[in-house]
Each structure stands twice: as C-alpha cells, then as structure tokens.
Amino acid sequence: MFFRDDAVSATGNGLGPDEWWKGAVVYQIYPRSFKDSDGDGFGDLEGIRSKLDYLKALGVDVLWLSPIYASPQADNGYDIADYYDIDPMFGTLSDFDRLLEGVHGRGMRLVMDLVVNHSSDEHPWFVESRSSRDNPKRDWYIWRDPRPGCVGGEAGAQPNNWGSFFSGSAWTWDEATGQYYLHLFHKKQPDLNWENPEVRAAVYRMMNWWLDRGVDGFRMDVINLISKDPGLPDGVVYPGRAWGEGFPHFSEGPHVHEYLAEMRREVFDGRSGTMTVGECPGVRRDNVLLFTDPARRELDMVFQFDHVDLGLEAGKFHPRPLRPGELADCLTQWQEAQGEIGWNSLYLDNHDQPRAVSRFGDETYRYESATALATALHMLRGTPYVYQGEELGMTNGVFHGLDDFRDVEALRYYHEAVESGESPEDVLAGMRATGRDNGRTPVQWDAGPNAGFTDGTPWIGVTPNYTEINAATQVGDPSSVYAYYRALADVRHGLPVIAAGSFERIVTPSPAVFAYRRTLDEAVATILVNLSSQPASLGEVARGVSGELILSNRDLSEAEREAPGVLEPWEARVYLA
Ligand code: ISL
C-alpha cells in the first residue's frame, strides 16, 4: 500500500452537523457471527462490546446491528416477536445500554435494524390477530378468503399467485379461522397491514422508544415493500417459475411515500443527529429520488440492489459470470441517478450476499482485488458500508454438503428445486456461489480454535482459511486489507472532495477499468481501478491525470507514482489535485 496520510486533513471533511452521515463510514454487524462471549456458539452484545476498540481503530463512525430483538430466529432475527426486548441469545437490555454507552463513549453512533414489513408469527400482535376473525388485531395483518370457488388449503386456493421470497406461496392457510395470511418471506414472518393507522402508530411509538433510549437511527428492512396494491392482483407467471411475480404489486406501492413522510413527522422531526437508510430491493433508478430527495424528507439514503443482482437474471441460484465493466457501469448509473440531489449507500457485502472478494474479485489476487473493489466503492459519492470481515478480505464460506448450510432461504430453495427435478449437485453449486450463508460465517479474529470467534461450537462452520486470513495478523500490518480500509476511512474523513464532491466517469479503452473524477470547488480527485485479473490499458487517460498520488494498493517507488499507461491486475490509484 502507498498512502500519503499527510494529504488528508485532520480538520475534517467540511460537512455540517445535519449532514454528518454523508461523511461517515458505517460498519454492519451481524451479531450472531461477530463475537461470542459466553461460549454458546452464537455471537452476542458482550462480544461486540469487547471489539469496540478494534472498530474505533478501523475508523468507522456508525455501527449498524442486524436484528437483536427477541425472536424465534426463523430468519436469524428478521422475525421479531418483541420489538422492545433483546433476544436472550444476544444478552439483555442492560447489556444493550452498556454497549450503547461504549459506542457513544468512543465517539461512534449506533443504528438499529427496523423490521416492520412483517413481524414474527409469535409476536403477540399476530397471536391475537390469528385468534379469531373479530379480534381487534385481525386487521393488523393481511388476511384474505380463499380464491372464489376454491376450498381453503387446497392447491390453487390461495387468494393470489404470489410466490414468497423464500420459495412456495406467499400465503399460508389458517384452518382455525378459515382465511389465508400474507407473508412475502417465510410463513413465520406475516406481513403487517400498513394501511391500518394503528399499526403505523405502534411502529412509530416503538421507533421513538429506541431513539429516546439513545440509538442514532435505523436501517429499515425491505421498506419499499410496506404498501401493497390493495387489489392484491395476480402476478405474471414467467416460464419455468412455479409462482407469479408479485413484485410490481408490492414494491413502491401506492402509499409508501405517504407512510415514509408520516414516519419522518412522527419520529424524526425535532430530533437531530439521526440517520435513516431504507433497504429497497428492486427500487427503480428513475424513482429513487422520491425516497432520497432531502426536500421530500423521507429517507437519508437507500440500499439499491442492481449491482449485487448483476448476473442473476436466471434466478438467484443460477448466476452467470459478469462481463468486464458491468459492475462499474451499474455503479455509475446509480451515481448519476442520485446526482447532486440524492445520496447513495455504497456497499458490496452484507449478510444477504456472497463475499465481494469471491464474487466480484479474484481469490487468487485476494489482497489486490479486495482493496481494488474497496477503492472503487469508497471513493464514490455516498456513504460507504463495511460488512464485518470485509475489512479483512474474508472470502466465501466452504459448504461441503447440505448439512453445512443454515439459511432458511437456501434450504427451502433446495427442497423446492430438487422436488421439481433439478439435480441436487447443481442446486448445491448455486447455493455455494450465491447463498446468503457465505457472508454469515464467523468473523475470523485469530488463528486459534474457531478463529477466536467462540470457545464453544460455532452455529455455522468457520471458513478454513482463518489460519491465514484473520484480524490478529492484519491489525498492525501496514500491508493488510485492514490497514487499507483504515486508510480509506481517513480519506473520507479528511478530504472534502471525497466526502462531498460531484462524480464524473472517465472513459478508458479497457472496459475492466473503473475510472472517475470527483470534483469540489478547485479540488479534483481521480480514481483509477482495474477491476480484472489482467493488465488493463488506460490509454490517453493517463496523460490527463493531474495532481499527486495519495493512495494506492501497491507499494510504489517514487518513479512509479505518475499515472501509468497500463494498470496491473486489480491495481487501484487515487490522485489528488
Ligand atoms: O437475499 C435476498 C434474496 O436472495 C433478498 O431478496 C432479501 O431477502 C431481501 O433483500 C430482503 O432482505 C431483508 O429482509 C429479509 C431478510 O431475510 C434479510 O436478511 C434482510 O436483509 C426478510 O426480513
């Protein structure tokens, strides 16, 4: 690595207090896989607290915790049974308060996951709702009669043909009350009825309770799905698919913007220092400013999915290799869509994705590709998100057979696909490539037993490469992926042009090169990254690069610091004029 830390100002990036999140680096923690303190094989809040100095030293500003609420864990906590309590596997509310104190004490902030498109079927609201048709909470969820002329519970009787994200129908028959309820995800995740003002008021009350307790904001799970087309019409059935595509009927539905504006008024008005990020799978680029235009006061930013869904046209578990330039083109389109008005969330890894270095990079160039991808992403306009272990260049997990997988989505898919005639080996190959468990293996802390994650038996297998890839060997090593992420955070904190400048793509002769310029007043930063394992030509572009090299993932001699005609495999450079 080459880093001119003296080029980065200690006086900050010039953003005002209301825009602090534009200059921040967010770190996502998936608590069950982060660090176990009590030997039960699951990570917990005390484990997180024991690593706060590590996180502070990495230079992150915000911790986002995937759900830690009381939950039967049908979808690892994205199925909440009590929004006001911590699941015992993670600790208690006092542990939470202590963690929050530790986070704030180090000058960091903490953001909670907010999962309110659905609750758990074990939430008292749903228990009441399903208890009888005239229960006052019946209308808190989405109940419907069988299709006219059909007998409930029989094939084809579902109120419409929507498929669940986790295979099978999106409807489950309730024998006791003779109706179906809607669940876009697992049947243990019934969808809340946002049309009901009591539901919305209950959600806002709960959000206010957490903010009053001291949390700094929310990452909102599938928030673009909360408003369904009231007619609940059938979706198109694509060839080879068992169920209809309900997506156009519940993504960005008729009232979603109204609800988010209401949430802003009821929860965030009168508070300062908060941040919100809405997870919006499938959100359309042309519409994104409806969510992120600050004048509309809905969300600070959203997670879009286009770049992580590249190559998945044939289905999530049937990926095709990406073409050179596809990732860069997609990221560019989103930079342009948000323009100077909206704001991007920048991420490659999270708990639902395979590891970026395995998917977009090249494990044989692990350091180079991890740092090249990170440079390409972190120098863009937007707020960068680092997912636990990404800062170490962690790779996909190793899953020998079905028993090694844990994820409800993959397991349900396996059974559906095998029953419909796909070969088990092909299905497993798809799960190894794109399954969500890849990102959920324990954080590799050291080369000791279980990678230092737990003294017990980890809930999911540790990736065997932990003996070489782990935090203990990387912290303190200036040539590590970790050190490079630390430098990227310094750049964002200390260079106004990176925090706030405009974006402009630079065209090069090689599609594998992602080159762009960030500009703010007189300052210009030029970012050059080769996103491939072959040398790539910059052509004439090299001659036009002005300023001095301030960061590179290579250790360059003085003579090598001029912009070169050709970038080495996965080479990344940042120039500042
Ligand atoms: O991972 C996905 C499919 O392969 C996505 O469709 C994912 O389900 C979608 O992005 C929504 O994700 C969020 O909500 C889900 C939960 O399982 C995910 O972990 C969460 O990130 C339901 O709450």
- The secondary structure of 190-257, three-state, reads CEECCCCHHHHHHHHHHHHHHHHHCCCEEEECCHHHCCCCCCCCCCECCCCCCCEECHHHHCCCCCHH
Determine whether the shortest distance from the Cβ of 165 to ligand 1 is under 6 A. yes
Sign of CA dihedral 357, 359, 364, 369: negative
Cα separation of 544 and 522, whole Å? 16
Determine whether the shortest distance from the Cβ of 349 to ligand 1 is under 6 A. no
Ligand 1 centroid–CA 279 distance in Å is 9
408-419 vs 424-434: helix crossing angle, rounded to 10: 150
In this structure, the residue with its CA closest to atom 20 of ligand 1 is 221
Point out the catalytic residue in the list 191, 221, 252, 298.
Answer: 221
Which atom of ligand 1 approaches the CA of 185 most closely? 22
Determine whether the shortest distance from the Cβ of 352 to ligand 1 is under 6 A. yes
Ligand 1 centroid–CA 105 distance in Å is 32
Give the torsion through C-alpha atoms of 349, 351, 354, 359, to 10 deg. 0
Determine whether the shortest distance from the Cβ of 296 to ligand 1 is under 6 A. no
Nearest to 191 by CA among 165, 210, 167: 165
**What's phi and psi for 505, nearest 5 deg?**
-70, 145
What local confidence, expressed as pLDDT, does residue 16 receive?
A: 86
Determine whether the shortest distance from the Cβ of 221 to ligand 1 is under 6 A. yes
In this structure, the residue with its CA closest to atom 1 of ligand 1 is 352
Ligand 1 centroid–CA 173 distance in Å is 23
Catalytic site residue 504? Answer: no
What local confidence, expressed as pLDDT, does residue 14 receive?
A: 87
What local confidence, expressed as pLDDT, does residue 81 receive?
A: 99
Q: How far lies 314's CA from each of 184, 243, 282, 317, 472, in Å? A: 20, 15, 16, 8, 40
In this structure, the residue with its CA closest to atom 19 of ligand 1 is 352
Ligand 1 centroid–CA 352 distance in Å is 6
Structure tokens at 417: 């696909």
Residues of the chain with pLDDT under 70: none
Determine whether the shortest distance from the Cβ of 412 to ligand 1 is under 6 A. no
- DSSP per residue, 339-398: TTTS-BEE-S--TTS--HHHHTS-GGGHHHHHHHHHHHHHTSSSEEEEETTGGGT-----
What local confidence, expressed as pLDDT, does residue 370 receive?
A: 98
Ligand 1 centroid–CA 568 distance in Å is 36
> What does the pLDDT look like over 329-387, one tens digit per residue?
999 999 999 999 999 999 999 999 999 999 999 999 999 999 999 999 999 999 999 99
Ligand 1 centroid–CA 111 distance in Å is 18
- DSSP per residue, 471-511: HHHHTT-TTSHHHHHHHHHHHHHH-HHHHH-EEEEE--S-T
Catalytic site residue 18? Answer: no
> What does the pLDDT look like over 133-159, one tens digit per residue?
999 999 999 999 999 999 999 999 999
Domains parsed from the chain with CATH numbers: 14-117+197-397+441-481 (3.20.20.80), 120-191 (3.90.400.10), 497-576 (2.60.40.1180)
Point out the catalytic residue in the list 113, 216, 279, 490.
Answer: 279
Ligand 1 centroid–CA 369 distance in Å is 26
Query: Which value, in Å, is the radius of gyration of the alpha carbons in the chain?
Result: 24
Determine whether the shortest distance from the Cβ of 79 to ligand 1 is under 6 A. no
What local confidence, expressed as pLDDT, does residue 12 receive?
A: 87
What local confidence, expressed as pLDDT, does residue 161 receive?
A: 98
In this structure, the residue with its CA closest to atom 7 of ligand 1 is 352
In this structure, the residue with its CA closest to atom 22 of ligand 1 is 78
Contact at 8 Å (CB) between 437 and 460? yes
Determine whether the shortest distance from the Cβ of 80 to ligand 1 is under 6 A. no
